[in-house]
Amino acid sequence: MRLLHFSDTHLGFNDLEVLNAQNINQREADFYDAFEQVVAQIEALRPDFILHTGDLFHRSSPSNRAITFALEQFKIIDSLGIPCVMIAGNHSTPRTNLSSPILKIFENFKNIHVAYSQAYEKFAFEEVVFHALPHMNDETKALSQIERCEQNIDPTKRNIMLLHCSVGAHYLMAEFGEWVYPREKEALFAQMDYVALGHWHGFGKVGKHENVYYAGSSERTSLNDKRNSKGFALVELGEALHVEYHEIAIRPIKTYEIDCEDFESAVAALHVKDVKDALVEVKLTNLTALQSIDIQTRDIKNLFEGALHVSIKREFKGTSNDTGLGDIEALSLEAYFLEHIKEESSDAEFARLKDKIQGLFSSYEEVSDESA
Ligand SMILES: [Mn+2]
């Protein structure tokens, strides 16, 4: 049995003030392009099942364009006759019950099975049962829904779980209302043939569990996400579980640093390569206030001709903001917490607390981060 697992496609996300030839925000178009690449792979690979683990749309009330695009793409998927199971993530779940969940638009598709009602749902097929746990705003309710999942395990079939959450505190995205899967219920994973996760935007296995995988997002929803590889998982369920990562082509992000201690030679030493259509991020370090006035944004941008967008970060001498809290998506929770303590305390106090913090984190989580 082969499953294609993808996730976090965030249709309708847009960023940067760049329009393409069709007058569509270029980054929004990039997300549509990534999605189309996955659909082309579905057509080529013909898996037995398709899984989407949440955040199909970036917002719970997406734009007309995003909805239209999704309907067109799922019409293609539906026509293949391959069952597709999809759950709602935090981005596509309404915060109040006054609005209707967007994933309801797929209710009348023959082969698309959606779980969006903040409750456990089971989709049973001849050889396999899919246990869908969509995003839930209420954590106490979530626990009872996990228990329903436990009761519905069918030992005569394959069992596959779909979730949109952080397993442990390691996969938090620093977003409002995200759901942390309760630690005491992680034992349930061992009873599953595969656990398909959404929420974290990098592909990877969840450290201590051999059968639990994040598919990752299909594009980056923030320039702080420096991963240059996005894709989906192709899951083979035979005698053993075999998970293969398939990459799609996305717009690259390139980072450069110009040390303004010696600006001229730092610029001369820059190796600007393959920046055509790329997202470029340049960090100017060791700046003095006077220099910062002298160095024009336009002159820096001109160094990266052909790039889609150049963002410039200015860091002044004597301030150590090089791993600022803005970089949260690139940091682990441990690093984030350490950074916070460092900012709040004296050097001596920080040195004392650092060991304690690291000790606490290592006893709490022993994950290997394959998704970085
Ligand atoms: Mn997401």
In the chain, where the domains are located: 2-248, 253-316
Cα 7 to ligand 1 centre (Å): 8
DSSP state of 100: P
pLDDT-derived band of residue 372, with 50, 70 and 90 as boundaries?
Answer: very low
Provide the CATH number for the domain formed by 2-248 in this structure.
3.60.21.10
Q: Are 63 and 207 in contact (CB under 8 A)?
A: no
DSSP state of 371: -
Cα 89 to ligand 1 centre (Å): 7
pLDDT(163) > 90: yes
Cα 189 to ligand 1 centre (Å): 22
Going by C-alpha positions, the residue among 276, 194, 176 that lies closest to residue 235 is 194
Cα 55 to ligand 1 centre (Å): 5
Q: Who contacts 355 (Cβ-Cβ below 8 Å, separation ≥6)?
A: none
pTM beyond 0.85: the answer is no
Mean pLDDT is lowest, of 36-40, 258-262, 304-308, 362-366, for: 362-366
- How far from each other are the two terminal CA atoms of the chain, in whole angstroms? 29
Q: Are 149 and 131 in contact (CB under 8 A)?
A: yes
pLDDT-derived band of residue 370, with 50, 70 and 90 as boundaries?
Answer: very low
